């Protein structure tokens, strides 16, 4: 008796979780759906979760910051409706960039090259139950050790659905080409990044440089930006494997048309947007978002210089590759491009 029941129970559980995933997509199409106010395990100072603090606002009401974030959400949802026809189902593996904070009820989708080290540090402080006080006491490499933070892909499907419905989901984005140049500079122009040189640099040089030297083929440490662009546009690249996360589009890393982000933060207004989130969490007095003083930061002018060497033909193709990120997050076509 017991033996024959087990498979049936398992089957029922599977079907149930499948339906839950479907249910999530339908209910989440309406941002005001009542399931948004489901209580999380966490209660803030005012007895509210961050998600409730955002949507049942009184203290934040009428603030210009709140209006900005509402506009960003609306724009994102309009572009999604206009450009994405097929609604595909999420698989747990699609959620491996969503970092979970069960203590406060937060989901953060990390995008490399958009202050992601500092956000991971802050998430470690928030989830650390007193282990850390100051994000900057956490070494950068430790923030990237995967066992230090949990991602949504590690949970069961019912647990995933519960968190997608009742946690505050946020993401940080950046001007797509500035992010791309930042990734290129960091991974290909710094002598210490030998792993990237070996893994990607040697292949890029082999395929996209005419008459490469033996040394360049062996080391892969002098990839030019132009060659990197050819690599990104080569159909073989994505056929063989997904883009590395440092240059993968936010659209593909964080699925913003399926996961409905409550707050879209921007690198351009990083500290302001980070404080807004910490305020919703009720942690703005206990956690300080690290303000970067990096002088090597990739700027718009620097990005423009890198694109000078790229022909209009390749500029256009590269823009098309990153077009969804431009549209979804309201970035305009860079004025330095010669694609009109």
Ligand X SMILES: *[C@@H]1O[C@H](CO)[C@@H](O)[C@H](O)[C@H]1NC(C)=O
Smaller CB distance to ligand X: residue 75 or 337? 75
Confirm if 39 and 167 have CB atoms less than 8 A apart. no
Binding mask 272-311 for ligand X (x = CB under 6 A): ----------------------------------------
Minimal distance, residue 326 CB to ligand X, in Å: 11
Binding mask 74-113 for ligand X (x = CB under 6 A): -x--------------------------------------
CA distance 323 to 329: 10
Tokens representing 281? 């969490």
Smaller CB distance to ligand X: residue 68 or 302? 68
Using left for φ > 0, alpha for ψ between -120 and 50, and beta otherwise, residue 211 falls in: left
Minimal distance, residue 324 CB to ligand X, in Å: 16
Q: H or E element: which one contains 266?
A: strand 263-266
Smaller CB distance to ligand X: residue 75 or 216? 75
Minimal distance, residue 163 CB to ligand X, in Å: 27
Site residues for ligand X, 116-135, by CB under 6 A, read: none
Smaller CB distance to ligand X: residue 210 or 332? 332
Q: With the C-alpha atoms ordered 50, 56, 58, 62, is the resulting torsion angle positive or negative?
A: positive
**For strand 263-266 and strand 150-151, is the pairing parallel, antiparallel, or unpaired?**
unpaired
Minimal distance, residue 69 CB to ligand X, in Å: 9
Looking at the DSSP bridge assignments, the partners of residue 302 are none
Q: Which of 226, 330, 337, 339 binds ligand X (CB under 6 A)?
A: 330
Smaller CB distance to ligand X: residue 82 or 236? 82
Sequence-ordered alpha helix ranges (H) in 189-293: 194-196, 202-208, 214-219, 225-233, 235-240, 250-254, 270-281
Minimal distance, residue 209 CB to ligand X, in Å: 38
Who's near 33: CB < 8 A, 6+ residues apart? 27
Phi and psi for 108 in degrees, rounded to 5?
A: -120, 120
Smaller CB distance to ligand X: residue 332 or 335? 332
Looking at the DSSP bridge assignments, the partners of residue 101 are 106
Binding mask 56-75 for ligand X (x = CB under 6 A): ---------------xx--x
Minimal distance, residue 173 CB to ligand X, in Å: 12
Q: How many residues bind ligand X (CB under 6 A)?
A: 5
Q: With the C-alpha atoms ordered 140, 142, 145, 150, is the resulting torsion angle positive or negative?
A: negative
Minimal distance, residue 297 CB to ligand X, in Å: 20
Place of tokens 């203290």: 59
Smaller CB distance to ligand X: residue 72 or 174? 72
Q: H or E element: which one contains 101?
A: strand 98-101
By CB under 6 A, name the binding residues for ligand X: 71-72, 75, 330, 332
């Amino acid at each position: 008796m017991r033996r024959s029941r087990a498979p049936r129970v398992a089957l029922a559980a599977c079907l149930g979780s499948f339906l839950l995933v479907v249910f999530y997509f339908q209910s989440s199409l309406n941002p005001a759906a009542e399931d948004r106010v489901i209580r999380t395990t966490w209660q803030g100072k005012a007895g509210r979760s961050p998600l409730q603090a955002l949507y049942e606002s009184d203290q934040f009401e009428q603030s210009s910051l709140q209006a900005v974030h509402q506009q960003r959400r609306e724009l994102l949802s309009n572009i999604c409706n206009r450009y994405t026809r097929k609604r595909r189902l999420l698989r747990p593996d699609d959620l491996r960039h969503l970092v979970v904070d069960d203590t406060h009820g937060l989901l953060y989708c990390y995008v490399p090259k958009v202050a992601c080290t500092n956000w991971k540090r802050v998430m470690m402080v928030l989830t650390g139950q007193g282990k850390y006080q100051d994000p900057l006491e956490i070494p950068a490499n430790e923030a990237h050790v995967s066992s230090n933070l949990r991602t949504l892909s590690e949970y069961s499907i019912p647990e995933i659905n519960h968190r997608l419905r009742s946690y505050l989901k946020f993401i940080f984005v950046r001007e797509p080409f500035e992010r791309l140049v930042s990734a290129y500079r960091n991974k290909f122009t710094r002598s210490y990044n030998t792993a990237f040189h070996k893994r990607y640099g040697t292949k890029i040089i082999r395929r996209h440089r005419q008459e490469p030297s033996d040394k360049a083929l062996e080391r892969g440490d002098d990839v030019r930006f132009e060659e990197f662009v050819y690599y990104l546009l080569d159909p073989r690249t994505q056929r063989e494997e997904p883009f590395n996360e440092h240059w993968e589009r936010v659209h593909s890393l964080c699925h913003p048309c399926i996961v409905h982000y409550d707050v879209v933060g921007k690198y351009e207004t990083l500290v302001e947007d980070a404080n807004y989130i910490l305020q919703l969490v009720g942690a703005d007095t206990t956690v300080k978002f690290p303000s970067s003083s990096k002088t090597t930061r990739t700027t718009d002018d620097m990005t423009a210089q890198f694109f000078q060497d790229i022909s209009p033909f390749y500029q256009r193709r590269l823009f098309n590759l990153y077009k969804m990120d431009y549209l979804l997050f309201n970035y305009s076509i860079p004025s330095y491009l010669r694609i009109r």
